[in-house]
Amino acid sequence: MDRPVIGMCTALEPARWSVWDQPAVLLARSYVDAVQRAGGLAVLLPPDSQLVQEPAQALELIDGLLLAGGADIDPASYGQPAHAETQDSVPERDAFEIALTRAAIDLDLPVLGICRGMQLINIALGGTLTQHLPEHLGHQEHRRVVGSFDGSDHDVDVADGTLAGRVVGAARHGTKSHHHQGVDRLGDGLRVSATSPFDGLIEAVELPQRAFVLGVQWHPEADVMSPVVGGLVEAADARAHSRKAAL
């Protein structure tokens, strides 16, 4: 049986393997495992400067788009100077993913943004970010241990009647978080569909005008019990079958 193809944008990072120490395009295996567990075929999409101008060529090859976590997004992409705590931005990746996201939304292709990916959806639709949450919230509860999900669990409140609610199937949902930035001004057309119960931080956004555009601030790929990546794969599968039936 054909599996829906999920395109996953990769990071550009220095990496070491075997005897090599080189720049690499990479993605944590947990994202691939989550897509495969849900029945999807995972395909990696490295930044491509030509696709920034013509992203449809890549989107024609996939049934759903997953925007992964990673480095802070360059604040220049949403018209702000960089905060001292905004680090490791890769403008080449940002430009590629913003172009891909806007084109995917135009095509009504299912899109899931995870952590940085949720923030990128917001920026692609004209929103902005708070660049260092501890400065505004007075605590570090959203990234307790840098580089680890140890002790990262916390609940989010999910709004009734939303895509996020249908995907997670509960009004309060357990998550794993690791971020120091968050949504500030909401992008055009987006709806807030989950918040943190202890500080009100936006934890999920979605675009009601499309079949499946969802951003979650937490990391469902780090939780084998999470239904979130499965929701993307299911939506991508439905779109793939619909397209085949129309041929």
Query: What is the Cα–Cα distance from 8 to 26, expressed in whole angstroms?
Result: 10
Catalytic annotation, pick one of 203, 206, 221, 234: 221
Encoded tokens for 185: 């001004």
Cite the DSSP H helix spans in 38-155.
49-53, 56-59, 91-106, 116-124, 133-137
Catalytic annotation, pick one of 115, 178, 179, 203: 115
Query: What is the Cα–Cα distance from 95 to 49, expressed in whole angstroms?
Result: 8
Is 9 catalytic? The answer is no
Residues 6+ apart with CB under 8 A from 103: 55, 56, 59
Evaluate whether 140 touches 182 at the Cβ level (below 8 Å): no
Catalytic annotation, pick one of 142, 173, 180, 219: 219
Q: What share of the chain is helix, strand, coil (3-state, %, to 5)?
A: 30, 25, 45
Active site residues: 115, 219, 221
